[in-house]
Amino acid sequence: MFNPFFSFVVTVILAVDLTAHTEMVPHLFGLCILCFTCKKKDLQSYFVFLSTLSVPKRNITNGKYLLWEHEEGRAYIDGGFRYYNGSLVVPRKGFYRVFLQTLYEIDTSHCVGKHFLVLSSFVTVYQQSYNEDRPLLTAEDTVICKDYKKDKVDYIKKSLFTSGTFKLDANDKLHVTSSHPDFMPQNEYQSFFGAHKCVQIN
């Protein structure tokens, strides 16, 4: 018999700071709560996600890593998580659910002379034992340019989502990278990143 589990958020969604080459105007990312129960061999989960406010910065990346707002407005981090310069630092060893959604808005002029575009978003983890970033999650989609050219569409929108549960160690660093960060508009409702720890209640 499995013991019941209570899955509680110890860090919350970090809204992507996507304001390069746009006016510096903050937008509210409203409160979003998702609750559900999964029952499998007496296993139950309860998830709560809080959302955040995106505040403009000059750059949307630190090197190859996407930057995220984590303090202003409704941004919220708890349970020992730390965030700095694109790194979300795991507080303690355990199982964590990690999730990422990214929205891409592509001007069809980028399709000129191309048959397709491949959009990719990645979550990687930097572990001291390996001393390098290792793949954790990947979301990918292909835009077939000719399908939009014939319809005379000006913009193409694609939203990618990925999530998974992983065993992580204390001080592991989670990072997000993108194949086309310049195609990501300033829209906190559709680009977010976070993790929460699954805690066993005896």
Per-residue pLDDT 10s for the chain (202 aa) are: 444 444 444 444 455 544 333 333 233 232 222 222 223 333 333 333 332 334 334 567 888 998 887 777 666 777 788 888 889 999 999 999 999 988 898 887 777 777 888 999 999 999 988 889 999 999 999 988 776 656 666 788 899 999 999 999 999 999 999 999 888 876 666 788 888 888 765 5
Residues ≥6 apart with Cβ < 8 Å to 92:
80, 170, 197
In the chain, where the domains are located: 5-200
Residues 20 and 58: beta-carbon distance below 8 Å: yes
By CB neighbour count within 10 A (0-12 exposed, 13-18 middle, 19+ buried), where does 21 fall? exposed
Cα 178 to chain centroid, rounded: 10
What local confidence, expressed as pLDDT, does residue 163 receive?
95
Distance CA 100, CA 193 (A): 4
**What letter would DSSP give residue 3?**
P
Residues 157 and 108: beta-carbon distance below 8 Å: no
Distance CA 158, CA 142 (A): 9
Q: Which residue type occupies 139?
A: A
What local confidence, expressed as pLDDT, does residue 3 receive?
45
What local confidence, expressed as pLDDT, does residue 1 receive?
46
Residues ≥6 apart with Cβ < 8 Å to 131:
none
Instruction: Please report where in the chains the tokens 């193409």 appear, as a residue.
Output: 156
Find the radius of gyration of the CA atoms of the chain: 18
Residues 120 and 102: beta-carbon distance below 8 Å: no
What CATH code would you report for 5-200?
2.60.120.40
Distance CA 97, CA 57 (A): 28
